């Protein structure tokens, strides 16, 4: 067996698992169409391998992986499978439609993980041989992962990696499942495997890091320096707990510091901001302002910091240019006199390509916003595009009317009309503050037992007429959903974000209801 063509010594494959490990993050559930849209963009931006889902997990996962496989052009499409016949066969059934399919099978190899299925080391070695062989009989491209590799005894890790290679694995992924390792250890582990395991030079080693100690990017890059040639990552670092290695961070680090890390990726970095915004919207996980590369404040000119030095020479402050990740250089202000063509051009600059029908709807919302707000900035348009209301066509519940009475005297009150399944329902409720009153009104109209876990407000731009983006996270029977909305009125944004989360809860209830 020879190494895949694009594994030359200086080339690092980018394996994106936003749709699998990212989606596993509680509350980040994505719909079928949202997954297709993200996969299309990942394929287009040069991601080498897309881990599209875990086909055995649900019918929805299976359908999404199959459809992504059918539509893929350049990327390898990968499906995850435990070391079980049913999982492996199901993963193959889904990915086989891709021009370049891959099965990724895994088992936990650390002492803690071996205890769960209660297998001895020898019994587990046998399971690994059988599962990888089964996958390899179905598909030429097989990835195997010893889950919790960084806490697995080194001698046992070498033994099972050798077994997987002999059984036909073409990529061996070394996961730091709990985000425990540190850069030097991450490098030493990869180096040790490459130097010790027979057949290691025939396959690709991958690094898969979690960010629990904030070292996922550093650990992945250290692994590359030691010989790993595939980085597993997600857009915005989305993922369980503190998330995974962020795609934008490793890709830009390799680009900007190519002088000391002379490795290439195939990623078109100008698509990074579009991918970041799309994943933030779809997952309901907003990007923190000071997040490396894609945060609102990551570029001085974007955050409105116009210091003297910056104005004289942007290189004084910036190690990369905003255009490198697809941010337009200017923050041209739009207003109520701006026309449809200008809006389309501006949105395209911001990474949103709209069809005629979508543009017509967005234009109406833009005009409403411009009527209320003299100047509409780039960030306002991004908030508009990512607002749940812009994407609410299929929602069962919508906010139709809201009026709150608030002031120094308690309680505050809210009059609310919700359209639920096409019918209007109105109520008046009180509460401790206007948001509490509004949420009580929503609860009165739509009874539910979901509890509010997070309520967060961010101003989109400066000024007292700025829009507010409100994010909420809710939990019902262990299921977590998030909602988001933006409006110049914070209470309206709050009501819409709450209703957005409830709509997602309804979808989840429908999915889990017995057929
Ligand atoms: O973190 C992990 O160990 C994983 C495996 C399934 C590869 O995501
Ligand atoms: Zn993981």
Residue 29 Cα distances to 25, 26, 64, 166, 285, angstroms? 8, 7, 13, 37, 11
With bands split at pLDDT 50, 70 and 90, how would you rate the model's confidence at 315? low
User: Are 412 and 380 part of one and the same domain?
Assistant: no
pLDDT (tens digit per residue) in 103-125: 999 999 999 999 888 899 999 99
8 A C-beta contact, residue 88 and residue 122 = no
CATH number for 256:
3.20.20.70
With bands split at pLDDT 50, 70 and 90, how would you rate the model's confidence at 248? very high
pLDDT (tens digit per residue) in 372-410: 887 888 878 888 887 766 667 678 999 999 999 988 888
d(CA 150, CA 215): 14
Report the number of distinct structural domains present in the chain: 3
Q: What are phi and psi of 264, to 5 degrees?
A: -110, 150
8 A C-beta contact, residue 169 and residue 145 = no
User: Are 153 and 248 part of one and the same domain?
Assistant: yes
The rounded percent of the chain whose pLDDT value lies above 70 is 92
Ligand 1 centroid from CA 262, angstroms: 27
- For the cut 50, the answer to whether the pLDDT of residue 286 exceeds it is yes
CATH number for 448:
3.30.160.270
Between residues 313 and 288, the one the model is more confident about: 288
User: Are 250 and 272 part of one and the same domain?
Assistant: yes
User: Are 274 and 403 part of one and the same domain?
Assistant: no
Which of 361, 390, 419 is at the close of a domain?
390
Mutate to test the pocket of ligand 1, among 147, 210, 242 (most ligand atoms within 8 A of CB): 147
Residue 41, in any domain of the structure: yes
Protein residue whose Cα sits closest to atom 5 of ligand 1: 147
pLDDT of residue 197: 98
Work out whether strand 468-476 and strand 451-459 pair parallel, antiparallel, or are unpaired.
antiparallel
User: Are 231 and 367 part of one and the same domain?
Assistant: no
- For the cut 50, the answer to whether the pLDDT of residue 467 exceeds it is yes
Query: Average of pLDDT values for 422-451?
Result: 95
Highest-scoring range by mean pLDDT, 34-43, 299-308, 312-321:
34-43
Ligand 2 (ion): residues with CB under 5 Å are 21
Residue-range definition of the domain harbouring residue 348 = 328-390
Between residues 227 and 471, the one the model is more confident about: 227
pLDDT of residue 231: 98
User: Are 56 and 156 part of one and the same domain?
Assistant: yes
Residue 182, in any domain of the structure: yes
Residue 465, in any domain of the structure: yes
d(CA 218, CA 250): 8
pLDDT of residue 304: 45
Q: What would the two tokens of residue 45 be?
A: 């931006």
Q: What are phi and psi of 106, to 5 degrees?
A: -145, 160
User: Are 134 and 194 part of one and the same domain?
Assistant: yes
Residue 2, in any domain of the structure: no
pLDDT (tens digit per residue) in 122-164: 999 999 999 999 999 999 999 999 999 999 999 999 999 999 9
Which of 344, 361, 390 is at the close of a domain?
390
Mutate to test the pocket of ligand 1, among 208, 234, 238, 239 (most ligand atoms within 8 A of CB): 208
- Check if 177 has its Cβ closer than 6 Å to any atom of ligand 1: yes
With bands split at pLDDT 50, 70 and 90, how would you rate the model's confidence at 514? low
Residue 318, in any domain of the structure: no
With bands split at pLDDT 50, 70 and 90, how would you rate the model's confidence at 481? confident
User: Are 362 and 253 part of one and the same domain?
Assistant: no
Between residues 177 and 282, the one the model is more confident about: 177
pLDDT of residue 173: 98
- For the cut 90, the answer to whether the pLDDT of residue 44 exceeds it is yes
User: Are 334 and 476 part of one and the same domain?
Assistant: no
Which of 283, 311, 338 is at the close of a domain?
283
Give the chain's mean pLDDT. 90
pLDDT of residue 206: 98
């Amino acid at each position: 067996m020879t190494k895949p063509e694009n594994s030359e010594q200086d080339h690092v494959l980018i394996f994106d698992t936003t749709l699998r490990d990212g989606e596993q993050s509680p509350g980040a559930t994505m719909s079928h169409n949202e997954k297709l849209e993200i996969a299309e963009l990942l394929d287009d931006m040069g991601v080498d391998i897309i881990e599209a889902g875990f086909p055995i997990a649900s019918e929805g996962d299976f359908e999404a992986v199959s459809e992504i496989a059918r539509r893929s052009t350049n990327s390898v499409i990968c499906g995850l499978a435990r070391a079980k016949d049913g999982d492996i066969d199901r993963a193959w059934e889904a990915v086989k439609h891709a021009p370049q399919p891959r099965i990724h099978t895994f088992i936990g190899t650390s002492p803690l993980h071996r205890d769960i299925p209660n297998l001895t080391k020898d019994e587990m070695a046998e399971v690994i041989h059988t599962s990888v062989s089964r996958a390899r009989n179905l598909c030429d491209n097989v990835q195997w992962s010893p889950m919790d590799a960084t806490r697995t005894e080194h001698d046992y890790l070498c033994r099972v990696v050798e077994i997987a290679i002999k059984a036909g694995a073409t990529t061996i992924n070394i996961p730091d499942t709990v985000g425990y390792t540190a850069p030097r250890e991450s490098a030493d582990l990869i180096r040790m495997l490459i130097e010790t395991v027979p057949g290691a030079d025939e396959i690709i080693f991958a690094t898969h890091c979690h960010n629990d100690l904030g070292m996922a990017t550093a650990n992945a890059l250290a692994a590359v320096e030691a010989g790993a040639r595939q980085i597993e990552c997600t857009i915005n670092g989305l993922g369980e707990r503190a998330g995974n290695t962020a795609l934008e961070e490793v890709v830009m680090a390799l680009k900007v510091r190519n002088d000391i890390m002379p490795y290439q990726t195939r990623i078109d970095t100008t698509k990074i901001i579009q991918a970041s915004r799309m994943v933030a919207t779809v997952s309901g996980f907003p990007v923190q302002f000071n997040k490396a590369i894609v945060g609102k404040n990551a570029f001085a000119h974007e955050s409105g910091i116009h210091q003297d030095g910056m104005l004289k020479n942007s290189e004084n402050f910036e190690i990369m240019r905003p255009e490198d990740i697809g941010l337009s250089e200017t923050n041209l202000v739009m207003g109520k006199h701006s026309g449809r063509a200008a809006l389309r051009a501006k949105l395209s600059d911001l990474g949103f390509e709209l069809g005629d029908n979508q543009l017509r709807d967005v234009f109406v919302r833009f005009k409403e916003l411009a009527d209320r707000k003299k100047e509409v900035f780039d960030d306002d348009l991004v908030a508009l595009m990512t607002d749940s209301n812009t994407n609410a066509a299929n929602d069962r519940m919508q906010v139709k009317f809201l009026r709150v009475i608030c002031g120094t005297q308690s309680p505050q009150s809210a009059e609310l009309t919700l359209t639920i399944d096409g019918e209007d329902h109105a109520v008046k409720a009180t509460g401790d503050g206007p948001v509490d009153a509004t949420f009580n009104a929503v609860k009165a109209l739509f009874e539910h037992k979901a509890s509010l876990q997070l309520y967060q407000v961010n101003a989109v731009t400066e000024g007292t007429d700025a829009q507010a983006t409100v994010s909420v996270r809710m939990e019902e029977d262990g299921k977590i959903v998030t909602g988001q909305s933006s409006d110049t009125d914070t209470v309206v944004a709050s009501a819409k974000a709450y209703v957005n989360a409830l709509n997602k809860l309804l979808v989840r209830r429908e999915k889990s209801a017995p057929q």
